Amino acid sequence: MTSGGTSPPPLRPGEDARGSLDGARVLVGVTGGIAAYKSAALVSRLAQAGARVTVVMTEGATHFVTPLTFQALSGQPVYTSVWEHIESKDPQHVSLAASARVAVVAPCTMDCMARLATGRADDAVTLILSAIDRARCPVLLAPSMNAVMWSQPSTQRNLATLRADGYEMVGPAEGWQACRAVGTGRMAEPEEIFEAVARAVARTGG
């Protein structure tokens, strides 16, 4: 179990997470942290497992990984703006939120946690998540920030609020961080997040 959040148990010997993902619609939110490069591996893993992956990015995330990368890996259009509508009949992206089986935000930065905890919906990621019924569609967050940011009282208050609101945490882990320090706040590895998504999909059934 990683510090600061409850992670799903590991797969049992012989259990294959891929079996529950065939055709499942998975929404992947990517926010502006250096760990965004790991999200490419997550999207690739989900797509290879048969999931129908839609990637949504904040403007900050596009400075770390290009939307074209995620489009190539997922085979689907990538959403990057609340103003640019791929599905013109649904400018609020409600149908996209309604069709998701599971949503995951990886990396979920300190800023994104604060936005979700306070009900903000002014970027593509938080807008679409605001339209998701978490009683039907699990929303997983994979926090990513340095150890000092993770330990801030405001972050811990937001963490408690998000858990109370029904969000599920994957990580964070402890280890080497981009700030050249070692501590808690490192984003969980793509395989751990993949397994959490697979379990969430299996839990929703049907």
Closest CA to 189 of 155, 142, 150: 142
> Is 108 in the active site?
no
The pairing of strands 182-186 and 173-176 is antiparallel
* CA neighbor of 196 nearest in space, from 111, 112, 105: 105
Least Cα distance to 174 among 183, 161, 165, 187 occurs for 183
User: Diameter of the chain by CA atoms?
Assistant: 47
| Candidate list 108, 112, 137, 179, residue with the active-site label | 179
Q: What are phi and psi of 28, to 5 degrees?
A: -115, 115
Report whether 196 contacts 172 (CB < 8 A). Answer: no
3-state secondary structure 123-170: CHHHHHHHCCCCCCCCEEEEECCCHHHHHCHHHHHHHHHHHHCCCEEC
Distance CA(15)–CA(59), nearest Å, equals 38
What positions carry a catalytic annotation? 179
